Amino acid sequence: MKNTAQRVAGFKDSIFGVMSKLAREHQAVNLGQGFPDFDGPEWLKKIAETKIDQGHGQYAPFMGTPSLRMMVSSYYKSYYQLDYNFESDITITVGATEGLFSTITACVDPGDEVIVLEPFYDSYVASIEMAGGKAVPVTMHAPTFSVTESELEAAASPRSKMIIVNNPHNPTGKVWEKTELEMIVRFAIKHDLLVISDEVYEFLLFDGATHYPLAQFPGMMERTFTISSAGKTFGLTGWKTGWVCAPPKLSHAVRLVHQYVTFSVNTPMQEAVADGLGKLLEYIPTFQKTYCEKRDYFYDGLTKLGFEFPKPKGTYFMMVPIRNKTQKTDVEFAMELVEKRKVAVVPPSAFYLKSNEGQAYLRFCFAKKEETLKAALKNLQGL
Ligand code: PMP
Ligand code: GLN
C-alpha cells in the first residue's frame, strides 16, 4: 500500500487531545484543554432548541446565514466602529479553527514565510505547513510576554507573507497594550504583510483591560483577517461557529477555500448564535464577572501554594512558572501532576518552535466550576 501524504508525516496528536485523554485515564481534574466544564447560557440553549423546532434543517448559504453575518457586522460596528459588509466581508466557519485554516490556505503559497509569535495556538503552524509555507517564530519573552521591533525585524525576509497575532493571548492571558500593537502595525505595513488577528477571546477581559482589534489601526483594514468564535464568547466550544472578517478581495479568497473544506456551517446553530449576538450588551458584563471570579479564586489558590506570577488580564488561561517548585521540564512535570496529583494541565513547550522558555511553565485553564478548581487546588497542596 502507498504511504499517506508527506505533509502530515511530521504531525503529532494535538496536546489538547493528549492531555484530555490522560485526564480521563488517570481520573484527574482536567485543567488542560481549554473549554468550560459547565454549559453555556440557558437562554441561548433554549433559542437553539427553538431554531431546530422551526426547521433550519438544510444547508445554509456557503458563506453563512444572512442573519448571523448581519449580527456579526452589527457587533463589530457597535463595539469597535469597524465596517464589515455582511454580504462581502464576513464568512461563517466551523469555529475559528476552520477560519484560520481557510485563511492560511487562501494566502500562503509553498515557500512563503509566516511570522508567528510564540507561544502560539497550535493550529497556526500545522495550517501553515499544510499550505507548504514556513512558520518563522518570534518569542514573546516572560514575564510580560513582549516582543521588540528588532526581534520582529530579524524574522522578516523577502519571503515574509503574513504575520499572525493572537489578542487576548492564549496561553499567556496577555492583553496586548495599544503601543505594542502599534509596533506590530508599523512592522506589518513596512513589510506589506497580510495579517491574521485571532481575537477569539475578545470579550474575556478583566480589570478594565481594553481590546483593540488590529483592523482598527490606520492601514490595517485592507490587510487584516479578523477571526473570532461564538465558542469562546458564549462558553459553548462544542457549537463550533466562528467567523472571518476581511475586505471583499481577501474574503473572496477565504470563501474559495471554505466552500471546498466544509461548504457551510450547521444552520440552526448559526441562527441561534445570531440571536445570541443580538443580546451581547446585556450578556457580556455577567460573562466577564463570572470568569473574573474564577480567575481571582484560582489565582489566589495558586499564589497560596507558592506560585508567583502576574495576574493575567484576559482569556481563561494562566501561564504559571514552575522553577520555584521543580527543575523538571514542563512535560515531565505535567506527567507527574496528572499521574500522581490527579491534575491535568497543558505543557506549553508544545506552543514553541524556537525557544525552550515554555519548559519552565505550565498552562492552567480556569474556565471550570468552582468545585473543579477547588478540587485541583486541593490535589496540588503540599507541592
Ligand atoms: N484560536 C485560539 C487562540 C484558541 O485558543 C482557539 C481555541 N479554542 C481557537 C483559535 C479555535 O477556536 P474554535 O474552537 O472556535 O475553533
Ligand atoms: N483552544 C483550546 C485550548 O487552547 C482547545 C482547542 C482544541 O482542543 N483544539 O486549549
pLDDT in tens, 81-131: 999 999 999 999 999 999 999 999 999 999 999 999 999 999 999 999 999
Are 275 and 286 within one domain? no
Q: Which of 279, 300, 318 is the C-terminal boundary of a domain? A: 279
pTM here is 0.97
**Smallest Cα–Cα separation from 294: which of 33, 28, 32, 36?**
36
Average pLDDT over residues 188-201: 98
In a domain, 184, yes or no: yes
Are 338 and 292 within one domain? yes
Residues 6+ apart with CB under 8 A from 156: 115, 187, 191
In a domain, 94, yes or no: yes
Pocket test for ligand 2, best of 19, 30, 35 (most atoms within 8 A of CB): 35
What residue ranges line ligand 2, CB within 6 angstroms?
A: 14, 16, 33-34, 170
Q: From the CA of 101, how far away is ligand 1's center (Å)?
A: 11
Tell me which residue range forms the domain holding 156.
42-279
Do 354 and 7 contact (CB within 8 A), yes or no?
Answer: no
Q: Which of 279, 299, 333 is the C-terminal boundary of a domain? A: 279
Give the number of domains in the chain: 2
Q: Which three cell numbers stand for residue 112?
A: 512563503
Are 268 and 312 within one domain? no
- Cα–Cα distance measured from residue 307 to residue 203, given in angstroms and rounded to the nearest whole number: 27
Are 235 and 300 within one domain? no
- Cα–Cα distance measured from residue 347 to residue 367, given in angstroms and rounded to the nearest whole number: 17
Average pLDDT over residues 197-214: 98
Average pLDDT over residues 253-267: 98
Nearest CA to ligand 1 atom 5: 170
Q: Which three cell numbers stand for residue 335?
A: 506527567
Domain CATH for 105: 3.40.640.10
Are 185 and 325 within one domain? no
Are 159 and 288 within one domain? no
pLDDT exceeds cutoff 90 at 37:
yes
Q: Which of 218, 248, 279 is the C-terminal boundary of a domain? A: 279
Nearest CA to ligand 1 atom 8: 34
The single-letter code of the amino acid at 230 is: A
pLDDT exceeds cutoff 90 at 233:
yes
Please tell me what DSSP assigns to residue 317. Answer: E
Q: From the CA of 19, how far away is ligand 2's center (Å)?
A: 11
Q: From the CA of 266, how far away is ligand 2's center (Å)?
A: 20
Cβ of residue 213 lying under 6 Å from some atom of ligand 1: no
Residues 6+ apart with CB under 8 A from 306: 324, 325, 383
- Cα–Cα distance measured from residue 84 to residue 74, given in angstroms and rounded to the nearest whole number: 8
In a domain, 321, yes or no: yes
Are 97 and 230 within one domain? yes
Taking only the tens place, the pLDDT of each residue in 240-257 is 999 999 999 999 999 999
In a domain, 24, yes or no: yes
Q: From the CA of 315, how far away is ligand 2's center (Å)?
A: 12
Which pLDDT score is estimated for 277? 98
Taking only the tens place, the pLDDT of each residue in 60-80 is 999 999 999 999 999 999 999
- Cα–Cα distance measured from residue 173 to residue 204, given in angstroms and rounded to the nearest whole number: 9
Full DSSP string of 320-331:
EE-TTT-SS-HH
CA angle 365, 148, 321 (to 5 degrees): 30
In a domain, 166, yes or no: yes
**Smallest Cα–Cα separation from 196: which of 78, 106, 75, 69?**
106
Tell me the CA distances in angstroms from 286 to 169, 183, 299, one per residue in order. Answer: 21, 33, 20
Are 264 and 295 within one domain? no
Q: From the CA of 123, how far away is ligand 2's center (Å)?
A: 9
Determine the atom of ligand 2 nearest the C-alpha atom of 123: 9
Average pLDDT over residues 299-313: 97
Collapsing DSSP states into helix, strand and coil, what is residue 9?
Answer: coil
Taking only the tens place, the pLDDT of each residue in 121-179 is 999 999 999 999 999 999 999 999 999 999 999 999 999 999 999 999 999 999 999 99
Taking only the tens place, the pLDDT of each residue in 311-370 is 999 999 999 999 999 999 999 999 999 999 999 999 999 999 999 999 999 999 999 999
Which pLDDT score is estimated for 383? 86
Are 26 and 92 within one domain? no
Placement of cell 462544542 in the chain: 238
Which pLDDT score is estimated for 367? 98
Q: From the CA of 121, how far away is ligand 2's center (Å)?
A: 8
Pocket test for ligand 1, best of 140, 165, 170 (most atoms within 8 A of CB): 170
**Smallest Cα–Cα separation from 128: which of 146, 140, 141, 116?**
116
Are 73 and 130 within one domain? yes
Are 218 and 298 within one domain? no
Domain CATH for 333: 3.90.1150.10
Are 339 and 222 within one domain? no
- Cα–Cα distance measured from residue 88 to residue 100, given in angstroms and rounded to the nearest whole number: 18
Q: Which three cell numbers stand for residue 184?
A: 506590530
Q: E strands within 72-132?
A: 90-93, 113-118
In a domain, 1, yes or no: no
In a domain, 211, yes or no: yes
